[in-house]
């Protein structure tokens, strides 16, 4: 039996899930690791508003405001109904 390799989209989704786990109740070091997963996730599947929103959250936790704003803006471009990203943009002004 051979193992099926994941498509780019499936791998992107898997990286998003792993990042979500890392961010929940995370410490600063896990946020950095989550950022790495999310950056790779959006490279593989660039139409995932949730991944961009979570990337923005991680950047905010690291006080990287410009990067956070960029990630939130990308999330809203992909999904104009992404309330969490819109709220974050309003908060960051």
Give pTM, 2 decimals.
Answer: 0.87
Q: What is the CATH number of domain 8-92?
A: 1.25.40.10
- Backbone φ/ψ region at 27: left (φ over 0), alpha (ψ -120 to 50), beta: beta
CA distance 72 to 76: 6
Looking at residue 22, its pLDDT comes to: 86
Q: What is the DSSP string of 34-88?
A: HHHHHHHHHHH-TT-HHHHHHHHHHHHHTT-HHHHHHHHHHHHHH-TT-HHHHHH
CA distance 63 to 34: 15
Q: What is the pLDDT along the chain (93 residues), one digit of tens a residue?
A: 555 688 988 999 999 998 988 888 666 568 999 999 999 999 999 999 999 999 999 999 999 999 999 999 999 999 999 999 999 999 998
């Amino acid at each position: 039996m051979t193992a099926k390799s994941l498509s780019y989209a499936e791998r992107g989704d898997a990286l998003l899930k792993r990042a979500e786990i890392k961010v929940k109740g995370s410490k600063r070091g896990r946020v950095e690791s989550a950022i790495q997963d999310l950056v790779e996730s959006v490279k593989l599947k660039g139409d995932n508003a949730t991944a961009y929103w979570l990337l923005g959250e991680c950047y905010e936790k690291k006080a990287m405001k410009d990067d956070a704003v960029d990630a939130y803006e990308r999330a809203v471009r992909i999904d104009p109904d992404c309330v969490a990203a819109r709220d974050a943009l309003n908060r960051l002004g």
